[in-house]
Structure 1
Amino acid sequence: MSKPHTASAPVEPAPASNFLRSIIDADIASQKYANRTDTAGQALPQVITRFPPEPNGYLHIGHAKSICLNFGLARDYQGRTHLRFDDTNPAKEEQEYVDTILDSVQWLGFSWTQDGVAHLHYASDYFERLYAMAEYLITAGHAYVDSQSADDMAANRGNFNQPGKDSPFRNRPAAESLAMFRRMKAGEFADGAHILRARIDMASPNMNLRDPAIYRIRHAHHHRTGDAWCIYPMYDYTHPISDALENITHSICTLEFQDHRPFYDWILERMAEGGFFAKPLPHQYEFARLNMTYVVTSKRKLRELVEEHIVDGWDDPRMPTLVGMRRRGFTPEAIQLFCERTGVTKSDSWIDIATLDGCLREDLDPKAPRATAVLRPLKLVIDNFPADEVIDCHAPVHPQFPERGNRTVPISATLWIEQDDFMEVPSKGYFRLFPGNKVRLRYGFVIECTGCDKDADGNVIAVHCNYFADSKSGTEGSANYKVKGNIHWLSVAHALEAEVRLYDRLFTDPQPDAGGKDFKLALNPNAKEVVTAFVEPGLATARPDDKFQFERHGYFVADRVDASATRLVFNRITTLKDSWAK
């Protein structure tokens, strides 16, 4: 990576709001989590966070916010972050998702390994202990086996305006519930026949405290434990216990879990009473999830896009998945910068996707070497250029960093230019090629347009011009020519053909699925355009994930293609400026 440009240091914006830092500062000042040790007697840091994805899909930009928040806070406070897979729902979880999540977290620039110890965990690691604690809840009178049907259970739960009704099995003796629970574990019952519930308060105004389920029967193969279990713990039961087992200090969730926090606390208090955990216990904090315009992050809706072949897979560059953004050419640094700048609050709000694009341009601009590409080619014939002559022109690899050197671009008698660089009848203020006008071939010579060729339908198929041999850029003679137009070009004999995919926003509506709208009605028909283009010969060595600024057109990344393919493929990462700005 090149050294940062220091000619004019940008003014750093004020740090974004993050209320969690104030909480952590207070906890450290009070020594709330000081002087703790793990089971091996090793001192524990005062800040331990966790990122707990369910391996049932691909991570998206919303998950990136959580990853950057949890790993970033732990880094800044000399703590650590655990990566824990919430793998308690075997029907929807696969090893494929585990693998892509591991890869995505590392690609974003974070690690769950500290001092040689990998803090990588799975909820399934704790199945035996979770089960033992459930048995304790039963024997202590805090849980019971409910044998109602699912419909009866739902009807008796009540609603926000009506308290729930006690299950007829709520006062089932602890010994009977324990025996039933063990039979559930032994596989004696069908799915849904019984369920283990916490005994809390069926009249609570918080629906999450109305005797929530903590274990259900599910005869399904688990991607890690196989068929060893046919009962699985619920997330709201597993989450706080896993946090406590891992000595998590600050358990950070999105706002939809705020109403679940009382049950989180209830579970941990009961387990502390039973001697399973010592205080201080983990504490859950909630922040507003990332809502970004022109984006859908629902896993269900993203799956629809993939399964209905609206997009070309989970890593389609139009997708907000991290694998899609990576293939699009987003950088980890840009995503981290975006997550930092959007701050952390407890108020829901919408972040304009232009903010993300701005962070991307800010990161790419000093890094990306420049290159020339002609996306919509039109032939330009220099009639007075010697037919067999080739002259090397030189352009900077990066105009702000001369130490990176120059790239060589050959010029010959026949060139490719952009179609919109010629108008037979120019509009007002048009300074590029038209009959009788002079322009400079960027980094090359000044030319004067003499006319054009057309096909039988009247379409322009070639433009003709003459060049001025003493006008080459970088020579003394170039100062004698004053022209207003400056156009990009490539030698037909030397340019490389490439497939260029021009990606744009997937939706035309800034809030495509808000208010129950059918998000597929807002699909952008112009979100992907594939053109056959030409690029400068130096890009023959481009490798997948190499990024460039195609002068005039934007930032592009070399895409992955089949191993047998020899063609060049580039994806547009973003334009040079916001083309959606009004």
Structure 2
Amino acid sequence: MENTATSNFLQNIITDDLADGRVTEVVTRFPPEPNGYLHIGHAKSISVNFGLAEANGGRCNLRFDDTNPEKESQEFIESIQADVQWLGYEWSGEVRFASSYFGQLYEWAIYLVEQGKAYVCDLNADEAREYRGTLTESGINSPYRDRSVEENLELLAGMKAGEFDEGSKVLRAKIDMASPNMNMRDPILYRIRKVTHHQTGNDWVIYPTYDFAHGQEDAIEGVTHSICTLEFEDHRPLYDWLIESLPVSSRPRQYEFGRLNPSYTITSKRKLKQLVDENVVVGWDDPRMPTVSGMRRRGYSPAAIRKFCDMIGTTRSDGVVDVAMLEFAIREDLNENAPRAMAVLNPLKVVLTDYPEDKTEELNAPRHPSREDLGERSLPFTREIYIDADDFREEANKKYKRLVLGKRVRLRNAYVIEADSAIKDDAGNILEVHAHTIPNTLGENPEDGIKPKGVIQWVSASRGERAELRIYDRLFNHESPDKGDNDFMEHLNPESLQVVKEAWVEPSLLEAVPEQNFQFEREGYFVADRYDHSSERPVFNKTIGLRDTWNG
């Protein structure tokens, strides 16, 4: 696999750690919360964590931080595993869960209480917010902060036994309510949640917070480099405080890098869920979604996504990345690897009046202009064909290089033809065009010496196949749809999906399998839909145009 961990500050840290002997084996982890599908930002984090481990001969764990069961589900767990594997990575050993460590974490909570470093607090949410203070004012000690060790142990046991209502008590670390870092003002370690957990069932009615569980899970697993995005930088002092305060067997270190924020995109799980819940999109894997499964269904390749993550680098600063960089990586990959085919989105029938009605020629065409290994495909040529309606005009200026009455044009990989007449209905709409072939023009150099002005795509009317084409565009028409006071729903692109029900495609596309990419000549890159495509009902999703023509 291509190394996606080249030249970044994290690699420099690891190189120094290995050279100094601080670590002998690099162990990283990817710790998603199973409360939604992975998105492009997670793809970056995956490439960093798995890429660094791979580049340094180490290992990377996949661990679900499942400490908030109300919002989690098995569906998300399965989708995350599938996404990591599709991107081309394998985790070390078995899949891990924070819930597997609940017993040990609870024992460590008892240890903190015994050491006088944690206490049970009865403040409700509003009171706790008031006592916490502000960014400019110190917090106030909870009136329950000085409970005895014995009372705290008894209350914590009661919390675990389900004796108290949700929200009535929490376990808090005893650190410093005057700390300038809000995360150090006696943060919550455990809260009561009387809900069924997708892994542990009803074994627990109290659950550790992410801040309490995170570092300890890293320590249990022997993680050497706990790599997070920058929003966790202010949490690092708490991470270190807990590691130093507990009898853990290893000392992981946390490092932060700038998160990926592509333009014209939102990556908030809450907002992505809103798009799903309000039926703005058709599920988490809608091809307009920035989720990994959405990008997969759109026809993006794992190699292109990894290439994009490598292109943007790994730095210590947040910033908006132009989504055009991702689109460039997608086009570059598909241009090299996608077989060519022909499709007509807006069909107009052309009758070749000189061509025998009962004749069919099987013409051969390369599947790719520079990839001989992809072989050839057969194009049946018949008397009646379809071209795109935009490729014909009765009259046109010299800049128009398609089919015009009295002018010639080449059919891609077939004959040169000349248009003779247009057949119209009573309203003046063109129903079909009559034309004739120019003999001996199957090659690129017609024997009559007259070269056509242009080349257009076509499909046999009798041997071609109807197909549904879903034309996708960016979901938002604003560069920063959720920045500041923006209501991201106000910036939805009304033309993000257009469905062409009666397109015509060359018959070779009946052999396409789901998730197979193609370049439909002059139309863009398409992929056979992962779920809906079949030989009986061909369905292709537009991945991206041949060039950037989006004017958002």
Instruction: Check whether TM > 0.5.
Output: yes
1:385 deviates by 1.4
Q: What's 1:545 paired with?
A: 515
Task: Decide whether aligned partners of structure 1 residues 478 and 105 sit closer, same or farther in structure 2, where only a CA change above 3 A counts.
Answer: farther
1:538 maps to amino acid: S
| Residue of structure 2 in register with 1:333 after alignment | 303
Partner residue in 2 for 1:240: 215
Instruction: Structure 1: give runs of 5+ residues left out of the alignment.
Output: 1-11, 35-45
**Residue 376 in 1 paired to residue 346 in 2?**
yes
Q: Is 1:480–2:449 an aligned residue pair?
A: yes
Range 90-99 or range 382-391, more displaced: 382-391
Please tell me the residue identity of whatever aligns with 1:354.
Answer: A
Residue 19 in structure 1 maps to residue 12 in structure 2: no
The 3 A distance-change label for structure 1 pair 164 and 411 is same
Report the AA paired with residue 505 of structure 1. R
Matched, 1:578 2:548: yes
Report % sequence identity: 51
Distance 1:416 1:565, change over 3 A: closer
Q: Which of 494, 501, 510 is 2:479 aligned to?
A: 510
Distance in 1, matches of 2:139 and 2:70, equals: 30
Q: Which residue number in structure 1 is paired with residue 22 of structure 2?
A: 32
Query: Cα deviations across residues 166-218 of structure 1 (Å, max 9, x unaligned)?
Result: 01111111111111101111110000111110000000000000000000111
Structure 1 position 524 matched with structure 2 position 503: no
TM-score between both structures, scaled by the size of structure 2: 0.97
Structure 1 partner of 2:45:
66
Amino acid at match of 2:72: E
Pairwise CA distance, 1:405: 2.8
Indicate conservation of the 8 Å contact 1:446/1:467, yes or no: yes
Question: What amino acid is the match of 1:395?
Answer: A
CA contact (8 A) 2:533 2:540 kept: no
Partner of 1:37: none
1:460-506 CA deviation, whole Å, 9 max, x = no partner? 121121111222226x7547331221111111011010001111111
- Out of 373, 378, 381, the residue aligned to residue 411 of structure 1 is 381
Alignment of 1:376-395 (within 5 A): 376-395=346-365
Partner Cα separation in structure 2 for residue 15 and residue 259 of structure 1: 25
- The verdict on how the C-alpha distance between 1:15 and 1:142 changes in structure 2, with shifts beyond 3 A counting, is closer
Q: State whether residues 17 and 345 of structure 1, in contact with CA within 8 Å, keep that contact through their aligned partners in structure 2.
A: no
| Per-residue CA distance 1:64-109 (angstroms, 9 max, x = gap) | 1101110000000000000000001111111111111111111111
2:183 maps to which of 208, 219, 243: 208
Residues in 2 aligned to 1:231 and 1:381: alpha-carbon distance in whole angstroms: 75
Following TM superposition, by how much is the alpha carbon of 1:565 offset from its aligned partner in structure 2, in angstroms? Answer: 8.3
In 1, distance between residues paired with 2:302 and 2:193? 39
1:243-392 matches, cutoff 5 A? 243-271=218-246, 275-278=247-250, 281-392=251-362
Stretch of structure 1 that moved more, 197-206 or 351-360: 351-360
TM-score between the two structures when normalised by the length of structure 1: 0.92
- Aligned pair partner of 1:446 in 416, 419, 426: 416
Shift of 1:120: 1.9
8 A Cα contact 1:558 1:568, kept in partner: yes
Code of the aligned partner of 2:339: P
Change (3 A) 1:15 1:111: closer
CA distance in 2, matches of 1:571, 1:83: 31
State which of 138, 143, 147 in structure 2 corresponds to 1:172. 147
Report the aligned-residue RMSD.
Answer: 1.8
The offset of 1:457, in angstroms, is: 2.1
Change (3 A) 1:342 1:400: same
| Paired residue type of 2:453 | K
- CA distance change for structure 1 residues 420 and 149 in 2, over 3 Å: closer, same or farther? same
Structure 1 segments (4+ residues) deviating >6 Å: none
In 2: Cα distance, 1:565 partner to 1:389 partner: 25
- C-alpha distance in structure 2 between counterparts of 1:477 and 1:362, whole Å: 33
**Kept after mapping to 2: 8 A contact 1:15/1:341:** no
CA distance in 2, matches of 1:400, 1:15: 30
Structure 2 gap segments, 5+ residues each: none
Alpha carbons of structure 1 residues 492 and 564: separation in structure 2 relative to 1, 3 Å: closer
Asked if 1:103 corresponds to 2:95, the answer is no
CA contact (8 A) 1:561 1:569 kept: no
- Aligned-residue offset at 1:451: 1.9
2:60 paired with 1:81: yes
Contact 1:498 1:569 in 2 (8 A): yes
Count of residue pairs the alignment pairs up: 550
Give distance in 1, aligned partners of 2:373 and 2:20: 52
Distance 2:61 2:124 in 1: 38
CA distance in 2, matches of 1:490, 1:341: 39
Q: Structure 2 CA distance, aligned partners of 1:276 and 1:503? A: 51
Whole-angstrom distance in 1 between the partners of 2:5 and 2:212: 36
Label 1:15 to 1:98 Cα distance change in 2 as closer, same or farther (>3 A): closer
Distance in 1 (alpha carbons) for counterparts of 2:153 and 2:413: 82
Matched, 1:228 2:203: yes
